[in-house]
Homo-oligomer: A and B are copies of this chain.
Amino acid sequence: MVSAVSSPGSKSGESELRARIIDVATTLFAERGYAATSMRDVASGASCTKPALYYHFDNKEALFLEVIVATTNAVVDLLRGAMGAPGTVRERMQASMHAYFAHLRAHPRALKVMMQAEISTDVGQPTIDFKSMRQSHINLVMPLLREGVDRGEIRADVDLYDALHVIAGAMDARAIQFVLEDEPIPVDYPERILALIFGGLSP
């Protein structure tokens, strides 16, 4: 057993193998899901033995959680950055969408592993609270929408919660089509979808 004070199980970074394990695990968990991914496969993919995995991570669940948290944080940081830029609310929404899609094009595993995490109820329930994680995403976008109302870019009578569902839904629907069917996302998709959502379908 590894001593408590210098346990690498909870420390982050540093080791090259550790990073390789996380990379391989991200791919496998994204592709096959939690239950269908074996620690043996992760070890073989990372060109190490199984106990080497357990040297760096307490157990399978801990490895999975690390993968999820790293992936999710990357996306959240990305969105936060794009939203914080100057410009109108609509411009910042557009920038966020561009950043999101660019990230997905570079790392299609990201969305897949997050989808896997959301529907695998048996794992990480006490450690990661997905409900509050989604809530924090909402808390990220809602102030932007409220600012849109204050600035007169968005009608004052719309339910911002509904608006959020429309915007995020359109974004995710397209993203899912990309990662599941390899249907590429056009570069001008954010502009088009925002024009549609702001302008409406009615003539």
Chain A interface residues toward B at CB < 8 A: 31-36, 112, 115-116, 118-122, 130-131, 134, 148, 152-156, 158-159, 162-163, 165-166, 168-174, 177, 180-181, 189, 192-193, 196-203
Inter-chain CA distance A173–B165, complex, in Å, is 6
CB within 8 A of A201: which of B35, B130, B154, B201? B154
Q: Is the CB of B119 within 8 A of A112?
A: yes
Q: Is the CB of B202 within 8 A of A130?
A: no
Q: How far is the CB of A16 from chain B (nearest CB, A)?
A: 29
Chain B residues positioned under 8 Å from A35 (CB to CB): 32-36
Q: What DSSP secondary structure best describes chain A's contact surface? A: helix
28 contacts between A and B (CB under 8 A): A31-B121, A33-B34, A33-B35, A33-B119, A34-B35, A34-B36, A35-B35, A35-B36, A116-B119, A118-B180, A130-B180, A134-B177, A153-B201, A155-B199, A155-B202, A155-B203, A158-B196, A159-B192, A162-B170, A162-B193, A165-B174, A165-B193, A169-B174, A170-B170, A198-B201, A199-B200, A199-B202, A200-B202
How many copies the complex holds: the figure is: 2
Chain B residues positioned under 8 Å from A201 (CB to CB): 148, 153-155, 158, 163, 197-198, 200
